[in-house]
Amino acid sequence: MHDVVISGGGPTGLMLASELRLHGVDVVVLEREAQPNPAVRSLGLHARSVEVLALRGLLDRFLAHGQRYPGAGRGLAGLEGATVELDSDHDYVLGIPQPTTDRLLAERAAELGAQLRRGAALEAFQQDADGVLVLLAGGDRLRARWLVGCDGGRSTVRRLAGIGFPGEPASTEWLLGEIELDGSVAPEEVARIASEVRVLHRGFGIGPAGDGLHRAVVPAASVAEDRTVPPTLEEFRTQLRAYSGTDFGVRATRSLTRFTDATRLAERYRAGRVLLAGDAAHVHPPLGGQGLNLGLQDAFALGWRLAAEVAGWAPPGLLDGYEAERRPVAEQVLTLTRAQSELLSPEPGPQAVRHLLGELLQLEPVARLLAGRITGLGIRDEPAEGDDDPFDLVGRRMRDLPLGDGRRLSDLTHAGRGLLLDGTGTLPLEGWPDRADRVALAPDRAALPAPALLLRPDGRVAWAGDDGEGLERALERWFGEPQPASDHLSGAVG
Ligand SMILES: Cc1cc2nc3c(=O)[nH]c(=O)nc-3n(C[C@H](O)[C@H](O)[C@H](O)COP(=O)(O)OP(=O)(O)OC[C@H]3O[C@@H](n4cnc5c(N)ncnc54)[C@H](O)[C@@H]3O)c2cc1C
């Protein structure tokens, strides 16, 4: 019996596999496709995703393949707001094509010992009190204690788990291609036509994509009945001509895919031993470049909670806290994309709202609120009632900090364990040696925003203060019952 089977080897499933492997969880990722998806869907990562990579020591390998765009990606449907500086070392969009992101995440999952089975499609499952029996196309069976559906917007797991997916169906479909042009239309002419068409049709676009290719997006003639069938080159050409009067001399494609403006959110993220993450839990049009970021951060929030459940120390409610934390974040993203869809409408009403919002966005607090949502830095896992929170930090992500001893916070988070940063030098952490580490810091040198901080494995603040009792309550709430004294092996890395 495996600990966890993940259905879907996209970015969410691969990130989750790595997070689980950090805790020694036996995990298998099933991926239906035999080969990685070549389609460049996501083009970039927002600041919180970049921070997440830094927390796990992965950022250098992503930076080596990406480009930093400081302050980018903060607008709303093309409306730019006042310039705001974010409280992060990574105040930029990291431009990196999705196939590269997927590859780097797959490499990392493999390094950590996750099994990725390509060409393996989950077809059915049955769950009982102890686990889930997973049936693959072709007849193979696997048994696991938990199943996570990271199998995209048309998730088989979600459907078979009977989890509703309410929202709005697709009203518009777009075709997206990475295409090769024959050179019959000069580059300046391609750019001129594109900007002319975009005056009326903001959903249209064509521009260079590197490697001598162009990336083009064009509305489809209608919403396809069977969205599993990829568009044909002929269909793509026809739509290019319909919108711009030319097919730009497209002669071949590296990838051709369709997407829609369907907007839906799973009713629940859990049904017994089955969980959902990423596009399997939420879909929306790609306005603002949010989906992959949301999925990565779902995986980051879920991994340690599920690992705790597998290890047997999860306190009550820890796993369900995943849905409580992440579903409202997805709801906010859906609100953002719904609003952007409206703002793109040429109708007078939405145009009036657009005008007004453009003015409001010049106000620094408005631009800051929006930037916090778009980048994911503003997300807060609401503190529970009764949480002591004199520093107003609980539930917020802790930014990277210099620790005053040559190290930074992000040097201590690679293993995904809890972390007590103790600037008082007096706080004990004996009972949780297998779950959290204590680092004693010199308060005059470390840039701590409180005398001591307890961080969850996902980098969020579980507690901030200086009293041992408050700390112990937070430890029990997030890391479960302490081990008996005789079982303590270690507990300090400082
Ligand atoms: C045009 C476009 C542009 C985008 N731009 C951005 C952007 O700039 N920024 C951003 O953050 N996001 C963007 N997105 C969204 C992003 O691509 C998705 O949100 C992201 O890929 C979701 O990752 P996922 O792992 O949850 O799902 P997916 O990437 O869909 O992966 C799911 C995987 O599950 C597999 N699978 C499906 N069914 C089964 C099964 N039964 N058994 C086994 N495997 C199965 C699939 O083959 C697939 O590999 C964009 C999307 C589009 C369409």
CATH of the domain at 363: 3.50.50.60
Span 189-215, mean pLDDT? 89
Condensed to tens digits (0 to 9), the pLDDT of residues 63-122 reads: 999 999 998 888 888 898 899 999 999 999 999 999 999 999 999 999 999 999 999 999
Task: Grade residue 42 by pLDDT with cuts at 50, 70 and 90.
Answer: confident
Start-to-end CA distance of the chain, whole Å, equals 37
| Residue 283 Cα: closest atom of ligand 1 | 19
On whether both 344 and 450 belong to a single domain, the answer is: no
211 and 187 within one domain? yes
Could you tell me if residue 476 is inside a domain? Answer: yes
Q: Ligand 1 centre from 45 Cα, in Å?
A: 14
CA gap 68, 93 in Å, rounded: 6
> Does residue 381 belong to any structural domain of this protein?
no
In a domain, 194, yes or no: yes
Is 461 a domain residue? yes
Is 122 found in the same domain as 22? Answer: yes
- Report CA(290)–ligand 1 centroid distance (Å): 11
- Which structural domain range is residue 323 located in? 2-167+264-375
Say whether pLDDT at 127 is over 80. yes
Domain boundary among 244, 260, 276: 260
Query: Which domain CATH number covers 450?
Result: 3.40.30.120
State the distance from the centre of ligand 1 to the C-alpha of 114, rounded, in angstroms: 20
Does residue 251 or residue 330 have the better pLDDT? 330
Per-residue confidence (pLDDT) for residue 488, from 0 to 100: 55
Q: Is residue 201 part of a domain?
A: yes
Out of 12, 29, 41, 116, give the residue to mutate to test ligand 1, the one with the largest number of ligand atoms within 8 Å of its CB.
Answer: 41
Q: Within a domain: residue 106?
A: yes
Q: Candidates 29, 150, 292, 373: which one to mutate for ligand 1, based on the most atoms within 8 Å of Cβ? A: 292
Q: In this structure, what CATH number is given to the domain that contains residue 250?
A: 3.30.70.2450
Residue 114 lies inside a defined structural domain of this protein: yes
| 295 and 255 together in one domain | no
Q: How confident is the model at residue 202 (pLDDT cuts 50, 70, 90)?
A: confident
Mean pLDDT of 296-310: 98
Contact of 84 with 364, CB cutoff 8 Å: yes
pLDDT above 50 (res 152): yes
**125 and 26 in one domain?**
yes
Ligand 1 atom nearest to 98, measured from its CA: 17
CA of 212 to the centre of ligand 1 (A): 25
Q: Are residues 317 and 212 in the same domain?
A: no
Residues 182 and 142 in one domain: no
Confidence band for 490, pLDDT divided at 50, 70 and 90: very low
Give the position, in ligand 1's atom list, of the atom nearest the Cα of 292. Answer: 11
From the CA of 151, give the closest atom in ligand 1.
34
160 and 197, same domain (yes or no): no
Query: Which of 32, 132, 173, 215 should be mutated for ligand 1, with most atoms under 8 A from CB?
Result: 32
How many structural domains is the chain composed of? 3
Taking the centre of ligand 1 as the mean of its atom positions, its distance from the CA of residue 29, in whole angstroms, is 15
Tell me: do 277 and 256 sit in the same domain. Answer: no
Smallest CA separation from ligand 1 atom 11, residue:
292
Beta bridge partners of 181: 250
Task: Work out the pLDDT band at 135, boundaries 50, 70, 90.
Answer: very high
Q: What is the pLDDT of residue 209?
A: 87
pLDDT of residue 141: 97
Q: How far is the CA of 9 from the centre of ligand 1 (A)?
A: 9
pLDDT in tens, 429-464: 889 999 999 999 887 777 899 999 999 999 999 999
Residues with CB under 6 A from ligand 1: 7-13, 30-33, 37, 41-44, 98, 121-122, 150-152, 156, 176, 259, 278-279, 286, 289-293, 295
Q: Which atom of ligand 1 is nearest to the CA of 155?
A: 38
Where does a domain end: 260, 285, 310?
A: 260
Q: Indicate which residue's Cα is closest to atom 3 of ligand 1.
A: 41
Evaluate if pTM is beyond 0.75.
yes
The answer to whether residues 236 and 132 belong to one domain is: no
58 and 86 assigned to the same domain = yes
338 and 240 in a single domain? The answer is: no
Which whole number is the average pLDDT over 411-436?
93
Query: pLDDT over 90 for what percent of the chain?
Result: 80
In the reported structure, the alpha carbon of residue 103 is separated from the centroid of ligand 1 by a whole-number distance in angstroms of 13
